[in-house]
Structure 1
């Protein structure tokens, strides 16, 4: 059966899906009230008007951003790669052009800075943080409804005959509207050459995060003084975004693309949560400038570099092992015939790369000092996300490897943080 009915439900089923669908948008709306162009205001009043939700200029800006990127994405050249083999034996083709698109945007923005006295788009982003946050939330809701409805229409042959059954996500086909809308019913929603999931995963939200940070830096520049903390957060997070775009092809083998459907969970996460919660540090620093000094800057850079070293070297070690380059390293043979690496980085924890990624996020938070716990939201949220991923992976591997997985966990008992967890 190509599309079996989903029996297991994550996030405590419909109740959890509803709680997340309402709770997280409310949270980043609160962030929009606390961190905005008027300053850092933890004692905010919940005072939202119709114009905040449906601000014409904000909607025009966001739609121009989203659909403009979509149009540019279609014409910017890139390389074409095959994805994983799907349940029906087919492979989707993906266009990998994120780095070309990012360079195009930066060249355009750099040219404007050189020739124009000001950059109105950066000022607009900074001045309309709350309105753009609300637009992003509503847009992600609408997109999730659109792809859910689209999942019920079969694929069409070129002659217009309904033939191909769409591949649904194994985790989003319960028959319950709310849960399937949240998890994502269709595995790979596409319109013509546009893969909606891959596009949203990397481009509109991630690149908006970059420009939000730049808008905060630009605001300090207009006010006459750019602090070292603002420069540092733009460098640290800018490099993280650059690194993610540079490794775009790795997305086509990640669980988000290969396993998860595209529903509200990913739509909201990609388009709203990422840009408007990951940018909290820059938004705080623009409202409450912090001068770090050389020693603290070097210390924060050291934490970030350590995180990158652990993250990239551990991933490279596993990749080389899988390709047969490190056969001398100790491994555990499973009942399926595959080998699980239990040496080098991977004897320290089952997901040592997650620990490196978390350290990178910690370095961002440290740029704000210890003035408010709100700028440390990312490391708490990300820790929860990583633990959830680890639990999903543990369940999947337990089912796949059986007793071999039990032995693996005996030899590598720590899940993420060596000697701690």
Structure 2
């Protein structure tokens, strides 16, 4: 266990309530903003008034549904990124010693993966193999598929931490459901010596690398609909691209 177990009743209750709120409110808030943008013209006043009048059906009737196609597409994306994560060359970086006494190795090929992914997407879009606005046009379905993947992954690693953790010293199990779920059980769940699941998912499948494709897709959709890409869109895409490239460039800090 990599942190002391809370024993006081007040601390345990606080940890459970705080963890539960963080886990439940964050996705609901994201869903509220998505519905506001898609169904209420980005009017928070109108969507809030509708939420108050409709109650839970506000979310149920507008909840994005994943499809078989969106699941296949998202899992294919995960598979491609996993292949790049494993196969692209990169410097091996030895991380600081963990609570369990290990010094884990990371292959830092994120910048190469970014160039291959974004460059490949641009080339495929140029030759009309893929629609550059596809992500934006199917945002709800793909977001639902991504959440399906997340729930499946969380469930697997929640059970793994209890059944066969990599190392006990890097596993937090307190017996309190919400707090344990929020902390994730294992600190560094891995497959093999170099495939780190937290690092992979945070930086590749739904994290930093994907940001660029999402931003470019929404810029393409704006151009399709209005015939122009606004200055604010250009700045948003450029600034977040700078953040992403800077992260991968300095990944070995």
TM-score range, shorter chain: 0.7 to 0.9
Q: Find the partner of 2:219 among 212, 217, 220.
A: 217
Cross-structure match for 2:68: 56
Q: Secondary structure at the match of 1:35?
A: helix
Q: Secondary structure at the match of 1:95?
A: strand
Q: Find the partner of 1:137 among 138, 144, 147.
A: 147
Number of corresponding residues:
237
Distance change >3 Å, CA 64–CA 49, structure 1 → 2: farther
Distance change >3 Å, CA 71–CA 50, structure 1 → 2: farther
Aligned 1:2-401 pairs, distance under 5 A: 6-7=5-6, 12-36=14-38, 39-42=41-44, 43-44=46-47, 46=58, 48=60, 52-116=64-128, 119-120=130-131, 122-154=132-164, 165-169=167-171, 172-192=172-192, 193-204=194-205, 205-223=207-225, 224-250=227-253
Distance change >3 Å, CA 52–CA 211, structure 1 → 2: same
Cross-structure match for 1:275: none
- Cα distance in 2 for partners of 1:60, 1:245 equals 28
Deviation at 1:212, TM superposition (A): 1.4
**RMSD of aligned alpha carbons:** 2.7
- Cα distance in 2 for partners of 1:126, 1:88 equals 43
Distance change >3 Å, CA 36–CA 59, structure 1 → 2: farther
Conservation of the 8 A alpha-carbon contact between 1:96 and 1:249: yes
Deviation at 1:41, TM superposition (A): 4.8
Higher-Rg structure is 1
The answer to which structure, 1 or 2, has the higher relative contact order (CA under 8 A, 6+ apart) is 2
Deviation at 1:63, TM superposition (A): 1.6
- Cα distance in 1 for partners of 2:13, 2:88 equals 39
Conservation of the 8 A alpha-carbon contact between 1:99 and 1:245: yes
Unaligned runs of 5+ in 1: 156-163, 251-421
Q: Secondary structure at the match of 2:169?
A: coil
Q: Secondary structure at the match of 2:229?
A: coil
- Cα distance in 2 for partners of 1:129, 1:84 equals 38
Distance change >3 Å, CA 60–CA 50, structure 1 → 2: farther
- Cα distance in 2 for partners of 1:33, 1:103 equals 33
Distance change >3 Å, CA 37–CA 65, structure 1 → 2: farther
TM-score (norm 2): 0.82
Conservation of the 8 A alpha-carbon contact between 1:36 and 1:130: no
Conservation of the 8 A alpha-carbon contact between 2:136 and 2:217: yes
Conservation of the 8 A alpha-carbon contact between 2:88 and 2:109: yes
- Cα distance in 2 for partners of 1:135, 1:214 equals 20
- Cα distance in 2 for partners of 1:76, 1:24 equals 34
Distance change >3 Å, CA 217–CA 10, structure 1 → 2: farther
Distance change >3 Å, CA 167–CA 53, structure 1 → 2: farther
Structure 1 runs (4+) greater than 6 angstroms displaced? none
Distance change >3 Å, CA 112–CA 57, structure 1 → 2: same
- Cα distance in 2 for partners of 1:125, 1:37 equals 18
